[in-house]
């Protein structure tokens, strides 16, 4: 059964970048969409260009905003949590408040959204949860204080959910992309191997969802550094990136 055709999907983080590209891809696949992000104007513009999409502005860092948006969204067949707040920050240049903001958006916000969506899915014994992690969540990287930890926590959450929901009709999946050409990666001043256009990354996520695999990391072979690197001594792994372990 196609997971998109005539199904209702809620994309959180849909106003630009990968989220916007996913909205366009799901729309083309026949899904009905609920689109959420903080920027109401950009969100409305995305929804206006799609076949069947509703804009429901939401701030994932505000519990009241999430509650109101979840009520407006109603029962959904699937949710994609695609929020990605990022500011490069090494521990030697710690900026108070910056890592907290990334954790709040990238991880704690997901808890708020799932707290409103998952109970209904469990009751109906049907649904799909897709969490957009990152290759940066596999192991600690230089200059990724806050971002790497928040994505690692989100990916760990996916594992928790998969275990608890085994045997139910609710499926959990992780998609862990590498570099995507967005306003966020424009902040980087280092080489970004195999950087992808948002549309190419969205196609990979769509394929991962259709495959049914629990976790998909891409693009290869760059992603192999991280999936294999999880099993290397941390010092060896850091030397791959020119950092001292």
For residue 54, the tally of other CB atoms under 10 A from its CB is 18
Q: Which two tokens stand for residue 221?
A: 């072979």
**CB distance 157 to 110 below 8 Å:** yes
Indicate the length of the chain as a whole number: 245
Q: Which residues contact 197 (CB under 8 A, 6 or more apart)?
A: 180, 181
Catalytic site residues?
147
The CA distance from 91 to 98, in Å, is 11
Q: Which residues contact 64 (CB under 8 A, 6 or more apart)?
A: none
First to last CA, the chain: 47
The CA distance from 26 to 102, in Å, is 27
- Torsion angles phi and psi, residue 146, rounded to 5: 90, -60
Q: Which two tokens stand for residue 95?
A: 């900026």
Q: Counting beta carbons within 10 angstroms of the beta carbon of residue 79, is it exposed (0 to 12), middle (13 to 18) or buried (19 or more)? A: buried
The CA distance from 213 to 150, in Å, is 22
């Amino acid at each position: 059964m196609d997971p998109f055709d005539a199904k209702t999907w809620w994309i959180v983080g849909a106003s630009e970048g990968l989220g916007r590209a996913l909205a366009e891809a799901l729309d083309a696949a026949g899904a009905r969409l609920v689109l959420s992000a903080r920027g109401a104007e950009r969100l409305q513009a995305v929804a206006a260009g799609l076949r069947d999409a509703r804009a429901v502005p939401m701030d994932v860092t505000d519990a009241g905003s999430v509650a109101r948006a979840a009520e407006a969204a109603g029962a959904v067949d699937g949710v994609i949590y695609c929020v990605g707040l990022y500011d490069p920050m090494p521990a030697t240049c710690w900026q108070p408040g910056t890592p907290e903001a990334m954790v709040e958006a990238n991880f704690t916000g997901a808890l708020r959204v799932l707290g409103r969506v998952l109970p209904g899915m469990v009751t109906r014994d049907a649904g799909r949860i897709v969490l957009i992690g990152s290759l940066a969540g596999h192991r600690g990287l230089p200059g990724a204080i806050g971002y790497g930890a928040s994505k690692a926590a989100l990916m760990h959450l996916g594992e928790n959910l998969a275990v608890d929901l085994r045997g139910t009709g609710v499926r959990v999946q992780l998609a862990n992309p590498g570099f995507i050409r967005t306003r966020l990666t424009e902040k980087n001043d280092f080489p970004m191997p195999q950087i992808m256009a948002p549309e190419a990354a969205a196609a990979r996520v769509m394929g991962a969802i259709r495959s049914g695999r629990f976790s998909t990391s891409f693009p290869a072979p760059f992603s192999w550094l991280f999936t294999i690197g999880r099993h290397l001594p941390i010092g060896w792994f850091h030397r791959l990136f020119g950092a001292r372990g």
